[in-house]
């Protein structure tokens, strides 16, 4: 198949590309990634933004918890307590994340190991892209170029701070490669392997990317299926269709232990639904197409600061980055001349066009259609992320383009020269347009001098790379330099280009260890006090923060704040004032902001309720609005009365005020709490712990009802007497998902053994 595909791209006069060995390509890819991220590897710089605030705390919490023998299904340290494993972005069961457990030392996980694993995924992306391009029939040098383009695409570089995105996108070429092998070889073994790799990629933890990957695989399947039945009839497409469905079923079954808890969490989260207007955040504009040639035309936003002046907010810069490098872009132009001869060039060109049309949102009809008609597409904002498919397609087209260019050198040198000179002409015309101010704001704009100077500088840089690329190709066309030298030079120019574009993008001077250690005095004080009682800290007021939002996961202190896209809708209760809300949520320490002095401090409350307490009365209010109104009134006294959604049909008496129950917390773990309760009469145990499906109560070993009280707290009816009560997080969604995943793995192993044995027992063909 590879040979037949190769013939489709040119004539018999093709100028041969020099050959290399696979290990040469692998070394080149890994070495280039190490050079690109050298400052991170040498710890002279560190990943920034979301890596520092979200992904590193997640990895820290998960790895440290696992090293202590606890499976972190629940996270009590942020948002007053929240599901951890059920949040897709926790990526708890993604195998590389599990391996981080072995790098925990003295109860801490160095950020270096997480950063190293991200860089390794860049290498995985490049190597898997290399082998995918080879499978499409491209020579090794062209495949190496494709691998480099994908690995250092604008999408990959600007999203390096988003661990979950990089970890998923890195596997996409391998997923497509396995799908191709399954489809064309009609192989059960490749079906199982493809399903497991696809499922494992989903476990990396970014649902939006998962949706785009499944959608892309569907499009590729339709493309191959239609081609198959056109050539061989509908019966020939039956088995590949069954195998494709099997691959998807295996991937879903493999991820069930993650998918079922996430499906349970999603409708209870603050992102249960988003509006169409919200979905338009992070879209591209038509004007941003110029960034395919001049990536920083609108400025940039990275670890070194932001001078972005383009459409949207500062983070739109990395959500809409479509740059792949000037040499790659020139070869993509060459690839379009094989549009009719090579069906795969046509396919990937179509994907590029589709992603651009979709990512412009209201600039075209595609996004609105998909939002309202196609399931899944209405759940996400930042639709510019679909350009991950552009990065893959551009990488493939650049490889095809190299082959087309070499074909033209051998068979149509005049056409070859016309193409490269036309590309150069476009670059010059663009530079003239920018120099004249045609593409900048009007001269009356206050921003004009700065943005004009920046745009001219960036366009000049792009023009230099265009001239250098065309110069190398021109010398190659005249056979002034050899093919090996030309390819090596083009690889070097490509690397220098993307290096200039993105080397500093993620190189922050903020060391995560120092960042989370800057408040060590406060943290140590809180932990010392926390050794005697359980309490929370309100560390944020507006934009002022004493502790980072997710610092609770790093230092194991109970924060009311946090950050995760799937935070619960009911993580705080209503109240007549923020102070009363903090009282109910067991916040002993609270931030105090002096805006006039621009200072922050921490104050100790004397009115906060304990983590667990006993009340004598209950008020049943099923309606949310009425319940909220009552809790916001002065009539509500949470120390005496609990507000319930459902009637527990539990007999209560009217004891004297002097008769109070006692509650002692004997053991507190991530997924369980053990308490001793002495009840002088029938009443309710109220835990200042967030209610969530999957929490179960056991009273003296017997399961007891557990209700949602006071809007979002766990409440347990307790009869008169002494009780040992254990509250455990045992979500049925996780249990069912784990069984499905285990069954999928077991059946897959059986299928693999069967396939291998059958292949070995098959007599060799004559």
The pLDDT tens digits for 512-528 are 999 999 999 999 999 99
**Domain 612-730 falls in which CATH fold?**
Chondroitinase Ac; Chain A, domain 3 (2.60.220)
N-term to C-term CA, the chain: 20
- The pLDDT tens digits of the residues spanning 538-567 come to 999 888 899 999 999 999 999 999 998 889
Nearest to 601 by CA among 609, 590, 610: 590
Domain limits, the chain: 173-271+733-766, 520-604, 612-730
Helix 343-359, helix 388-411: angle, nearest 10: 140
The radius of gyration of the chain's CA atoms, rounded to the nearest angstrom, is 30
- The pLDDT tens digits of the residues spanning 73-85 come to 999 999 999 999 9
- In this predicted structure, the answer to whether residue 9 has a pLDDT above a threshold of 60 is no
Nearest to 741 by CA among 191, 88, 198, 253: 253
Confidence of residue 15 (pLDDT cuts 50, 70, 90): low
Token readout for 731 is: 């979500």
Nearest to 585 by CA among 557, 612, 556: 612
- pLDDT value of residue 6: 42
- pLDDT value of residue 443: 56
Token readout for 337 is: 């001349």
Nearest to 728 by CA among 684, 668, 638: 668
Write down the residue that tokens 């045992």 correspond to: 730
The answer to whether the beta carbons of residues 298 and 286 sit under 8 Å apart is: no
Confidence of residue 10 (pLDDT cuts 50, 70, 90): very low
* Distance between CA atoms of residues 72 and 66, nearest Å: 7
What is the separation of C-alpha 54 from the centre of its chain, rounded to a whole number of angstroms? 11
* Distance between CA atoms of residues 474 and 472, nearest Å: 5
- pLDDT value of residue 14: 58
- The pLDDT tens digits of the residues spanning 141-186 come to 999 999 999 999 999 999 999 999 999 999 999 999 999 999 999 9
Phi, psi values for residue 672, rounded to 5°: -160, 150
Confidence of residue 8 (pLDDT cuts 50, 70, 90): very low
Confidence of residue 7 (pLDDT cuts 50, 70, 90): very low
- The pLDDT tens digits of the residues spanning 221-266 come to 999 999 999 998 888 889 999 999 999 999 999 999 999 999 999 9
Please work out, in degrees rounded to the nearest 5, the angle formed at the alpha carbon of residue 180 by the alpha carbons of 175 and 186: 120
- pLDDT value of residue 242: 96
- pLDDT value of residue 4: 39
Q: Collapsing DSSP states into helix, strand and coil, what is residue 127?
A: helix
- How many other C-beta atoms lie within 10 A of the C-beta of residue 155? 28
Q: Measuring CA to CA, how many Å separate 358 from each of 212, 310, 630?
A: 12, 19, 47
- In this predicted structure, the answer to whether residue 313 has a pLDDT above a threshold of 70 is yes
Q: Which residues contact 761 (CB under 8 A, 6 or more apart)?
A: none
pTM above 0.85, yes or no: yes
CA dihedral 92, 93, 99, 102 (to 10 degrees): 60
Tell me the pLDDT of the chain averaged across its residues: 93
- In this predicted structure, the answer to whether residue 299 has a pLDDT above a threshold of 90 is yes
**444-466: b (≥16 Cβ within 10 Å) or e:** eeeeeeebbebbbebbebbbebb
User: What average pLDDT does this structure show over 638-665?
Assistant: 86
Nearest to 82 by CA among 741, 528, 549: 549
- pLDDT value of residue 678: 95
The answer to whether the beta carbons of residues 378 and 371 sit under 8 Å apart is: yes
- In this predicted structure, the answer to whether residue 536 has a pLDDT above a threshold of 70 is yes
- pLDDT value of residue 658: 60
* Distance between CA atoms of residues 205 and 575, nearest Å: 35
- pLDDT value of residue 572: 95
Which of 61-75, 269-283, 443-457, 685-699 shows the lowest mean pLDDT across its residues? 443-457
Token readout for 35 is: 């050079």
User: What average pLDDT does this structure show over 384-409?
Assistant: 95
Percent of the chain scoring above 90 in pLDDT: 84
- In this predicted structure, the answer to whether residue 205 has a pLDDT above a threshold of 50 is yes
């Amino acid at each position: 198949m590879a040979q037949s595909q190769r013939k489709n791209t040119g004539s018999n006069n093709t100028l041969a590309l020099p050959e290399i060995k696979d290990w040469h390509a692998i070394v080149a890819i890994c070495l280039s990634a190490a050079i690109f991220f050298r400052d991170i590897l040498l710890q002279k710089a560190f990943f920034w933004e979301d890596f520092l605030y979200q992904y590193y705390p997640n990895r820290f919490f998960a790895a440290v918890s696992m090293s202590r023998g606890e499976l972190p299904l629940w996270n009590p340290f942020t948002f007053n307590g929240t599901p951890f494993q059920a949040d897709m972005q926790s990526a708890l069961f993604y195998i590389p994340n599990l391996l981080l457990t072995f790098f925990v030392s003295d109860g801490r996980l160095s950020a270096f190991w997480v950063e190293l694993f991200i860089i390794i995924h860049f290498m995985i992306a490049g190597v898997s892209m290399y082998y995918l391009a080879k499978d499409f029939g491209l020579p090794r040098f062209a495949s190496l170029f494709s691998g480099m383009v994908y690995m250092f695409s604008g999408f990959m570089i600007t999203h390096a701070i988003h661990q979950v995105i990089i970890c998923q996108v890195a596997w996409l070429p391998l997923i497509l490669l396995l799908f191709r092998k399954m489809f064309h070889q009609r192989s059960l073994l490749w079906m199982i392997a493809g399903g497991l790799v696809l499922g494992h990629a989903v476990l990396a933890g970014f649902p939006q990317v998962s949706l785009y990957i499944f959608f892309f695989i569907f499009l590729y399947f339709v493309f191959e299926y239609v081609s198959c039945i056109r050539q061989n009839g509908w019966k020939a497409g039956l088995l590949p269709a069954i195998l494709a469905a099997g691959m998807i079923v295996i991937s879903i079954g493999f991820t069930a232990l993650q998918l079922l808890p996430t499906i349970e969490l999603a409708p209870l989260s603050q992102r249960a639904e988003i509006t169409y207007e919200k979905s338009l955040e992070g879209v591209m504009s038509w004007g941003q197409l110029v960034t395919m040639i001049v990536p920083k035309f609108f400025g940039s936003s990275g670890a070194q600061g932001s001078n972005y002046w383009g459409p949207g907010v500062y983070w739109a810069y990395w959500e809409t980055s479509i740059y792949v490098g000037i040499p790659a872009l020139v070869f993509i132009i060459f690839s379009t001349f094989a549009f009719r001869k090579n069906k795969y060039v046509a396919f990937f060109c179509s994907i590029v066009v589709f992603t651009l049309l979709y990512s412009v949102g209201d600039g075209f009809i595609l996004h609105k259609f998909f939002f309202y008609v196609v399931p899944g597409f209405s759940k996400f904002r930042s639709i510019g992320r679909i350009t991950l498919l552009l990065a893959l397609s551009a990488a493939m087209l650049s490889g095809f383009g190299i082959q087309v260019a070499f074909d033209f050198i051998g068979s149509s040198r005049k056409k070859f020269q016309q193409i490269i000179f036309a590309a150069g002409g476009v670059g010059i015309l663009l530079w003239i347009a920018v120099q004249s101010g045609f593409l900048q704001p009007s001269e009356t704009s206050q921003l004009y001098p700065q943005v004009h100077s920046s745009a001219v500088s960036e366009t000049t840089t792009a023009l230099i790379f265009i001239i250098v690329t065309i110069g190398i190709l021109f010398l190659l066309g005249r056979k002034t330099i050899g093919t090996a030298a030309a390819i090596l030079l083009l690889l070097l120019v490509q690397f220098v280009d993307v290096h200039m574009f993105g080397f500093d993008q993620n190189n922050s001077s903020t060391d995560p260890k120092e960042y989370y250690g800057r408040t060590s005095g406060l943290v140590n004080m809180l932990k010392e006090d926390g050794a005697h009682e359980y309490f929370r800290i309100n560390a944020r007021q507006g934009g002022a923060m004493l502790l980072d939002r997710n610092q609770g996961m790093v230092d194991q202190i109970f924060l009311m704040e946090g950050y995760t896209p799937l935070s619960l809708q009911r993580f705080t209760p209503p109240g007549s004032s923020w102070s009363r809300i903090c009282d109910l949520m067991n916040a002993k320490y609270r931030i105090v902001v002096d805006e006039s002095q621009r200072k922050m401090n921490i104050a100790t409350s004397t009115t906060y309720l304990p983590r667990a307490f006993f009340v004598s009365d209950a008020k049943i209010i099923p309606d949310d609005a009425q319940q909220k109104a009552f809790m916001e009134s002065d009539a509500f006294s949470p120390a005496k009365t609990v507000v319930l959604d459902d009637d527990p049909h539990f007999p209560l008496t009217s004891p004297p005020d002097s008769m109070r129950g006692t509650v002692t917390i004997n053991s507190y773990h991530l997924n369980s709490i053990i308490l001793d309760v002495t009840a002088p009469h029938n009443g309710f145990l109220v835990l200042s712990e967030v209610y969530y499906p999957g929490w179960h109560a056991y009273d003296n070993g017997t399961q007891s009802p557990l209700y949602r009280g006071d809007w979002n707290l766990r409440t347990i009816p307790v009869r008169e007497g002494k009780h040992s009560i254990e509250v455990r997080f045992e979500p049925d969604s996780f249990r069912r998902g784990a069984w499905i995943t285990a069954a999928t793995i077991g059946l897959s192993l059986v299928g693999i053994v069967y396939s291998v044995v059958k292949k070995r027992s098959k007599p060799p063909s004559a």
